[in-house]
Chain A
Amino acid sequence: MGKEDINFEKAMENLEQIANELEKGDLDLDSSVAKFEEGMKLSKKCSEILENAEKKITILLQKDGELVEEDFENDEQ
Chain B
Amino acid sequence: MEYKPISVTELNMYVKEKFQQDEFLNNVLVKGEISNFKHHYTGHMYFTLKDENSLIKCVMFKTYTANLNFIPKDGMKVVILGTVSVFERDGVYQIYAKAMKQDGIGDLYAEYERLKAKLENEGLFDASHKKKIPIMPKCIGVLTSNTGAVIRDIINVSTRRNPNVYIKLLPVPVQGKDAAPKIVSAISLMNEKKLADVIIVARGGGSLEDLWPFNEEIVARAIYDSEIPIISAVGHETDFTIADFVADLRAPTPSAAAELAVANIDDVKERLHIYNNRYKTALKKKVELMRLRFEKCMKSRAFSNPLQNINEQYMLLDKKVKGIENAIKIKLKDSRTKMVKEIARIDALSPLKTLIRGYSITELNGKIVKSSKSLKANDQIILKFIDGENRAKIL
Contact = CB atoms under 8 A, between A and B. Distances in A.
A22 B276 contact: no
Nearest to A39: B279
Contacts of A53: 138, 162, 164-166
Nearest to B136: A8
A9 B131 CA distance: 13
Q: Is the interface of B mostly helix, strand, loop or mixed?
A: helix
A23 B285 CA distance: 9
Contact of B193 (A15, A50, A67): A67
Interface in A25-53: 25, 27, 29, 32-33, 35-36, 39-40, 43, 46-47, 49-50, 53
Nearest to B282: A22
A27 B159 CA distance: 42
Nearest to A27: B286
B287 to A, nearest CB: 7
Interface residues of A, number: 40
B284 to A, nearest CB: 10
Given A22-B282, A36-B282, A47-B272, A58 B168 contact: yes
A76 B168 CA distance: 17
Contacts of A39: 275-276, 279
B328 interface: no
A49 B155 CA distance: 21
Contacts of B285: 25
B152 A15 contact: no
Given A43-B272, A47-B272, 20 more contacts: A8-B134, A8-B136, A9-B136, A15-B275, A18-B275, A18-B279, A23-B282, A25-B285, A27-B286, A40-B276, A40-B279, A43-B279, A46-B268, A54-B164, A55-B159, A57-B167, A57-B169, A69-B168, A72-B146, A75-B152
Closest 6 A/B residue pairs (Cβ): A22-B282, A53-B164, A8-B136, A19-B278, A56-B166, A36-B283
